[in-house]
Amino acid sequence: MSNIINITDFSAPQLDVYARLSEKQLLHYYEPATGLFIAESPKVIERALGAGHEAVSFLVEDRHIDTQAKEIIERCADVPVYTAPFDMLKQLTGFELTRGMLACMRRKALPNIADICKDMRRVVVMDRVMNPTNVGAIFRNAAALNMDAVLLTSGCSDPLYRRAARVSMGTVFQIQWTFVDDDWQAELKSLGFKTVAMALKEDTLDIDNPQLMAEQKLAIILGTEGDGLADSTIADCDYTVKIPMSHGVDSLNVAAASAVALWQLGKYNTNN
């Protein structure tokens, strides 16, 4: 394969995206146009390609060129593949590559909230969820548990950051999503959604409340790690729901709570 390039010089500028640029720098790489992101593992890369993202280059452990990376490399025959043994790649990137493969890929322009949600019945809103691992896990739960789309407020970690996309197992490329402006609650309500705050409050509905389950369009809102949703956000919601706890446990991690909430509130979604 003519696109295979053995790494001999760590300072080569083509390797900057893997070795010397932060994820925020990649995000703004072509500003004001959309930037770049790093996808990790063959599964995540395959799903990114399937969603229409263009590969700029690959970084592959040499022993995987003819094994688990082979199909992707053949699919992208004109894309340069930089390769070296495991120890060299760990030294270059500063971490162990999951399944021995990274891809530098171009971002796509994000849609607006109206375009995503106009025909949807169940959406998830992450409000200032900052941990990439939690963001990735919530995406995986949303894709698996009958959600139609994911919306993120400006305080959230980027779903295309390497760790978030990897934890999601590439489901960030299988479910529609976008970042939203500060007036997202009003916009969702204008689109016919009732909003559900997941919050540790006493005066709440049961998660299997018949009225709640009968709503045609629901937006399930998950708050930041630790503090949860702001009181003002809760006050603007149509419903507030708390997952019942036992053994003196006060709450679940936001990703775990999302699995419980989305399973219950998405079980009758006819869009899936």
pLDDT, tens digit, 9 for 90 and up, residues 180-218 = 999 999 999 999 999 999 998 878 999 999 999 999 999
Q: Please give the Cα distance from 143 to 80 (Å, whole number).
A: 32
Mean pLDDT across the chain: 95
- Strand arrangement, sheet containing 122-126: 176-179, 149-152, 122-126, 218-222, 194-198, 239-241
Tokens encoding 21: 């640029």
The string of pLDDT tens digits covering residues 219-268 is: 999 999 888 999 999 999 999 999 988 998 988 999 999 999 999 999 87
> What pLDDT is attached to residue 267?
87
- For residue 179, which of 212, 151, 200, 141 has the smallest C-alpha distance? 151
H or E segment to which residue 201 belongs: none
The string of pLDDT tens digits covering residues 68-127 is: 999 999 999 999 999 999 999 999 999 998 889 999 999 999 999 999 998 999 999 999
Annotate 179-196 with DSSP letters as a single string. E--TTHHHHHHHTTPEEE
Measured in whole angstroms, the distance separating CA 245 from the mean position of its chain's CA atoms is: 27
> What pLDDT is attached to residue 245?
85
pTM over 0.85: yes
Tell me the CA distances in angstroms from 165 to 66, 74, 161, 205, one per residue in order.
Answer: 24, 23, 6, 33
> What pLDDT is attached to residue 171?
97
> What pLDDT is attached to residue 269?
84
Q: Please give the Cα distance from 12 to 205 (Å, whole number).
A: 58
Q: Please give the Cα distance from 42 to 56 (Å, whole number).
A: 15
* Alpha helix stretches (DSSP H) within the chain: 16-19, 23-27, 42-50, 70-75, 86-93, 113-117, 132-144, 162-167, 184-190, 210-214, 231-236, 254-266
> What pLDDT is attached to residue 200?
84
Rounded (to 5) percent helix, strand, coil in the chain:
35, 20, 45
For 101, the 3-state DSSP assignment is strand
Q: Please give the Cα distance from 136 to 158 (Å, whole number).
A: 9
Dihedral sign, Cα of residue 159, residue 146, residue 53, residue 110: negative
Average pLDDT over residues 8-18: 96
